[in-house]
Chain A
Amino acid sequence: MTCPNYVDMMMAYLDDELDSEQKKVFEEHLASCPICSGELEEFKRLNRITDEVKLVEPEERIWKMYWSGVYNRIERGIGWILFSVAAILLLIYGGFRAIEAIIKDPAVDMILKVALLTLIAGLAILLVSVLRERIYFWKKDRYKDVRR
């Protein structure tokens, strides 16, 4: 087990991230501590092994087509937003028209009309309640600006 005070230094020494003064301090410690010098050797061995690993560079065409892959997603994203907004508007309009037709139709039973209106009122209350709760918690969230 490396001496706790020299753990960070050992990594920085290994990766050549120490200035000359720190290097000198660490080398002095190494000379007097066989545990740390032993562990340093093991880490050096590990570095030699990982240095052998070379990541495979993909074919050049992958880089040439890379941006178009990202751009297609951006384009599709805009498409989906427009599609969703239009679908919601159409659903609201269609729903409103259908409900209007049912309410105005004298052939439809009064009980069905009352049930339908009650259902709409219930949905509206639920929606408002959920929205209000969300807004309340969002405003009270002390960590909302914390990067996660």
Chain B
Amino acid sequence: MNCFCEEESIAIQQCRRGSAKAFETIVRRYMKQAYFIALGLVGNHEDALDLSQEAFFRAYSKINQLNPKRKFFPWFYQILKNLCFSHLRKRSGRHQHNLEEVDEVQVSTCAGSRFDPHSVAERNEVEERVWKAIGQLNEKHREMIVLRHFQNLSYEEIAQILFCTRGTVMSRLYNARKKLKELLD
């Protein structure tokens, strides 16, 4: 773990000096995690790919703002999350941004950018129901469900990337699960 952190810290220092090659190692390390988080938040493959790549590009452009003593991923996660949520807000305009609504709005206009449970999860009636319910959660709740249930992050890891305490993680998770349960019932 220390070796891993040290390696990352060296790569970040090289990025700060303008090395795109060093950034490549960071991207390769986190690309899958970034993609799957974006997929959970925005709900379709094309947008998840585009937004996760855009987040890496923005991270590279702002790499000087990253405190060298801090880990890359929690900082990067803020960029990724903000991009995904602002994408959802743009997609759903002034309406409440639940993914199901986006689905209805976008289905006739742009099939590629809509929330598409089939492209996200393997086809199955239960899964579709779950995914639809996740789409109806608000940003904070959806984030918790994605991080815990689909990324399998520990409370410690979630607290690190959300810059909050373990207690906050537990109470947010309780509220998120309660809401999801209501939507599924």
Interface residues of A (CB under 8 A from B): 2, 7-12, 15, 17, 42-43, 46-47, 49-56, 58, 62-63, 66-67, 69-71, 73-74, 77, 147
* Contact status A73-B53, CB under 8 Å: yes
* Contact status B155-A17, CB under 8 Å: yes
Add 14 more A-B contacts to A46-B180, A53-B150 (CB < 8 A): A8-B167, A11-B173, A12-B170, A50-B180, A53-B127, A53-B149, A54-B127, A55-B121, A63-B31, A66-B27, A66-B49, A67-B24, A70-B23, A147-B163
Contacts of B148 in A (CB 8 A): 15
* Contact status B127-A52, CB under 8 Å: yes
A49 with B130: in contact, given A55-B39, A67-B24, A70-B27 (CB under 8 Å)? Answer: yes
Contacts of B54 in A (CB 8 A): 73
Nearest A-chain residue to B129, judged by Cβ: A49
* Contact status B119-A56, CB under 8 Å: yes
Contacts of B40 in A (CB 8 A): 55
* Contact status A74-B124, CB under 8 Å: no
* Contact status A77-B130, CB under 8 Å: no
* Contact status B57-A55, CB under 8 Å: no
Contacts of A55 in B (CB 8 A): 36, 39-40, 120-121, 150
* Contact status B53-A66, CB under 8 Å: yes
Expressed in whole angstroms, the minimum distance between the Cβ of B76 and any Cβ of chain A is 12
Can you name 17 A-B pairs with beta carbons within 8 Å? Answer: A2-B174, A11-B177, A15-B148, A15-B155, A42-B181, A46-B180, A49-B126, A54-B127, A58-B35, A58-B49, A62-B49, A63-B32, A67-B27, A69-B49, A69-B53, A70-B27, A77-B61
Cα(A71)–Cα(B56), bound, Å: 9
Nearest A-chain residue to B126, judged by Cβ: A52
Expressed in whole angstroms, the minimum distance between the Cβ of A71 and any Cβ of chain B is 6
Contacts of B131 in A (CB 8 A): 53
Nearest A-chain residue to B130, judged by Cβ: A53
Which of A46, A58, A63 sits near B181, CB closer than 8 Å? A46
* Contact status B155-A52, CB under 8 Å: no
Expressed in whole angstroms, the minimum distance between the Cβ of B7 and any Cβ of chain A is 17
* Contact status A50-B45, CB under 8 Å: no
Chain B contacts with A in 33-66, Cβ cutoff 8 A: 35-36, 39-40, 45, 49, 53-54, 56-57, 60-61
Contacts of B12 in A (CB 8 A): none
Expressed in whole angstroms, the minimum distance between the Cβ of B136 and any Cβ of chain A is 14
Expressed in whole angstroms, the minimum distance between the Cβ of A62 and any Cβ of chain B is 7
Expressed in whole angstroms, the minimum distance between the Cβ of A45 and any Cβ of chain B is 8
* Contact status A71-B36, CB under 8 Å: no
Contacts of B170 in A (CB 8 A): 7-9, 11-12
Asked if B20 CB lies within 8 Å of chain A CBs, one says yes
Contacts of A46 in B (CB 8 A): 177, 180-181, 184
Cα(A54)–Cα(B123), bound, Å: 9
Expressed in whole angstroms, the minimum distance between the Cβ of B26 and any Cβ of chain A is 10
